[in-house]
């Protein structure tokens, strides 16, 4: 985790991407041991001893790091490259978050700060924004729907907040886009719609 932290703090965008890719792998049960997945997931969700890692991940999902490239005409090509890097990092960040929520599903109610997730400009609002952009970026919308589903299946508090925020409409959009463009998005959005409508029992009542 020290290496991930160091890479994310460098001024080189390629190093930042490598750091985020490494974090994604550390939260993946296919690439890391159960103990490492658990540890890395704690960092992603709570910060632990590496709060900057969590902050960077959340900022990528919130798109806060976009638009930081030079605005000179001569740097147009460089800006385009940075934009592609940032999109790759956002995908890695969403994947790592989905992995962490799945790994820690049994203890989400205790781990998560409801204000941080469901408050004004909370993490749920960032996930909703990604889902609402399904037509332009269906893969990111799929990952956001996966994060949301993992969360709502195990937290009644987050489920209530998601209903108030309008996730049901975003899930329907995902289902529609999924029918024509991205099957995984449609399937995930359908599962999310069922949880939101109460058709599926959740762990937390």
Residue recorded with tokens 């049901």: 168
Instruction: Name the percent of the chain lying above pLDDT 70.
Output: 89
What angle, 0 to 180 degrees and rounded to 10, lies between the N-to-C axes of helices 138-152 and 156-165?
140
pLDDT (tens digit per residue) in 38-93: 999 999 999 989 999 999 999 999 874 444 444 455 456 667 888 888 899 999 99
Of the candidates 133, 115, 135, 131, the one whose C-alpha atom is nearest the C-alpha of residue 123 is 115
pLDDT on residue 69: 42
pLDDT on residue 98: 96
Q: Which two tokens stand for residue 157?
A: 């508090």
For residue 189, CA distances in Å to 26, 71, 121, 138, 172 come to 26, 37, 22, 11, 7
Its sign, for the CA torsion 36, 41, 44, 46, is negative
Residue 204 pLDDT more than 80?
A: no
pTM value is 0.87
Contact assessment for residue 97 and residue 57, using Cβ atoms and an 8 Å cutoff: yes
């Amino acid at each position: 985790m020290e290496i991930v932290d160091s890479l994310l703090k460098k001024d080189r965008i390629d190093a930042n991407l490598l750091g985020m890719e490494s974090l994604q792998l550390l939260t993946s049960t296919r690439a890391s041991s159960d103990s490492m997945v658990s540890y890395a997931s704690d960092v992603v969700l709570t910060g632990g001893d590496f709060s900057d890692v969590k902050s960077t991940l959340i900022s990528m999902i919130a798109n806060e790091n976009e638009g930081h490239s030079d605005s000179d005409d001569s740097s147009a090509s460089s800006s385009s490259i940075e934009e592609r890097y940032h999109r790759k990092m956002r995908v890695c960040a969403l994947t790592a978050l989905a992995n962490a929520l799945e790994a820690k599903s049994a203890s989400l109610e205790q781990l998560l700060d409801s204000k941080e997730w469901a408050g004004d400009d909370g993490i749920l609002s960032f996930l909703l924004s990604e889902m609402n952009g399904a037509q332009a970026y269906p893969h990111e919308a799929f990952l956001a729907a996966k994060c949301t589903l993992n969360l709502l299946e195990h937290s009644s508090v987050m489920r209530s907040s998601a209903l108030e925020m309008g996730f049901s409409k975003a899930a329907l959009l995902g289902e529609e886009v999924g029918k024509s463009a991205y099957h995984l998005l449609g399937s995930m959005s359908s599962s999310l719609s069922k949880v939101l409508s109460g058709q599926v029992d959740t762990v937390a009542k």
